[in-house]
């Protein structure tokens, strides 16, 4: 199954906690603190795999979590860093932030990219030793790893894109100019997903051609199948617009040409402005030569080149391929999308704390408090005094008193409860 879009959640590993430990050795009565630091959490890394062609691997697995760093230990032993988690994606995958749609990274031609960084390990108590505090009984917790919800969007890497109505002969054309074997049948929407083929023109001259499922009127708004795959011609340097001029389905070639071009403009004005060649296909069964001449006159008025071909009999195909190769020599390389994503800087402030009271229990919630609690050892008097000082200086106690807290009331935060005392 061809899957070209997937949404996943990635979570880097948390840093390990620092250790609280003291040196114990015979005949060494005051060995001092020797708690080591925690290890760094594992990164989540996206890596391009040339053997992948779809995002099928992400159809059933949506969450990827890297290992956490190990906790520190005594004897100044640092915890082991978490191993990085490597996620393989096809070359040409565009990574977007799910919430904003902004491009984080275009993986075209990129070997690997760190999408989520692991958290730093916490400091062990040896780092908090000072001349006046020679036996610190607290350490620092590891920091959480980054977590993101991202959208992976595959854009095929093709030099040339075939566009046009369903059943105009795009798949047949691809099959005769390359070794690709797309499904070919005489009904609309035979092509259900894009097909790629390498076209060899001469020694050292070749290009990649993509056959996109047929576009119909309203495709830019979601009609038909083509709208799902319009993104796959975003990177194409040249478009070949295939038009059925046989009249076998009773449609006018000029109207078909204008309708498809309008859908391209609605989807992306930049895409519609790409260089284009026009292939008048099924010339071998064209009954109305006057209509063909009218179409030729119209295309020439647009300043475009028209090639009369029959993909079925290969008439005019060689001339079209040669002109395509010549055109590509003067066109810029495949587009690489520049990042648009701006990392959100999380600013933790005590002003963001939410205080609620119910039944004499005062509940305080907020990330500022969560971080303060994670760095506090409540069994150590010095660490507890530091916590009290931070809460007082941040104005949390003043807010509680303004809201009417009484001595003896219960204060709850981060799963802990304390009795309030002025």
pLDDT in tens, 15-32: 999 998 998 888 877 788
Architecture of domain 160-328: 3-Layer(aba) Sandwich (3.40)
| Tokens at 235, concatenated | 């990177």
Q: What is the pLDDT of residue 341?
A: 81
Q: Calculate ∠ Cα 108-227-224, nearest 5°.
A: 150
Cβ contacts of 197 within 8 Å, gap of 6 or more:
174, 175, 177, 178, 179, 180, 208, 209, 211
Please check the confidence at residue 220 and state whether its pLDDT lies above 60.
no
Residue 346: pLDDT band by 50, 70, 90 thresholds? low
Give the range among 67-71, 211-215, 364-368 with minimum mean pLDDT: 211-215
Q: What is the pLDDT of residue 373?
A: 82
pTM confidence score? 0.76
Domain boundaries, the chain: 1-154, 160-328, 350-419
Q: What is the pLDDT of residue 340?
A: 84
How do beta strands 147-154 and 5-11 pair?
antiparallel
Distance of CA 121 to the CA centre of its chain: 27
Averaged pLDDT, 201-220: 79
Overall fold of domain 1-154: Spo0b-associated Gtp-binding Protein; Chain: A, (2.70.210)
Residue 386: pLDDT band by 50, 70, 90 thresholds? confident
Averaged pLDDT, 76-95: 95
Per the DSSP assignment, residues forming a β-bridge with 297 are: none
Overall fold of domain 350-419: GMP Synthetase; Chain A, domain 3 (3.30.300)
Q: CA–CA separation, 79 vs 66, rounded Å?
A: 16
Q: What 3-state class would DSSP assign to 60?
A: coil
Averaged pLDDT, 131-141: 81
Residues 124/202, Cβ–Cβ less than 8 Å? no
């Amino acid at each position: 199954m061809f899957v070209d879009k997937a949404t996943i959640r990635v979570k880097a590993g948390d840093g390990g906690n620092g250790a609280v430990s003291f040196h114990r050795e015979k005949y060494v009565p005051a060995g001092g603190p020797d708690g080591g630091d925690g290890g760094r959490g594992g990164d989540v890394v996206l890596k391009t795999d040339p053997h992948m062609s779809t995002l099928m691997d992400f159809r059933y697995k949506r969450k990827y979590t890297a290992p956490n760093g190990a906790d520190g230990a005594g004897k100044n032993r640092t915890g082991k860093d978490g191993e990085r988690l490597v996620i393989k994606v096809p070359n040409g995958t565009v990574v977007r932030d799910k919430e904003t749609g902004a491009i984080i990274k275009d993986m075209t031609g990129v070997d690997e990219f760190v999408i989520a960084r692991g958290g730093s390990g916490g400091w062990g108590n040896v780092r908090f030793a000072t001349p006046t505090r020679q036996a610190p009984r607290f350490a620092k917790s590891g920091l959480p790893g980054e977590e993101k919800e991202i959208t992976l969007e595959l854009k095929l890497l093709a030099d040339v894109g075939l566009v046009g109505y369903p059943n105009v002969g795009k798949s047949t054309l691809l099959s005769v100019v390359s070794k690709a074997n797309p499904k070919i049948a005489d009904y609309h929407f035979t092509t259900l997903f894009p097909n790629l083929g390498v076209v060899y023109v001469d020694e050292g001259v070749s290009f990649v051609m993509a056959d996109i499922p047929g576009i119909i009127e309203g495709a830019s708004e979601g009609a038909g199948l083509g709208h799902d795959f319009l993104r796959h011609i975003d990177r194409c340097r040249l478009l070949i617009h295939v038009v059925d001029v046989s009249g076998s389905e009773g449609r006018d070639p000029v109207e078909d040409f204008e309708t498809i071009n309008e859908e391209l403009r609605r989807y992306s004005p930049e895409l519609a402005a790409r260089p284009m060649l026009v292939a008048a296909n099924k010339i071998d069964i064209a009954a109305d030569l006057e209509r063909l001449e009218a179409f030729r006159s119209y295309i020439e008025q647009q300043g475009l080149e028209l090639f009369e071909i029959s993909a079925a009999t290969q008439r005019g195909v060689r001339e079209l391929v040669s002109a395509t190769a010549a055109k590509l020599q003067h066109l810029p390389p495949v587009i690489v999308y520049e990042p648009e994503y701006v990392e959100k800087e999380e600013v933790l402030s005590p002003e963001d704390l939410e205080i609620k009271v119910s039944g004499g229990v005062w509940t305080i919630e907020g990330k500022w408090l969560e971080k303060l609690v994670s760095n506090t050892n409540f069994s150590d008097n010095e660490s507890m005094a530091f916590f009290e000082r931070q809460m007082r200086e941040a104005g949390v106690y003043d807010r509680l008193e303004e809201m009417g807290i009484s001595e003896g009331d219960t204060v709850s935060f981060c799963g802990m409860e304390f009795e309030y005392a002025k």
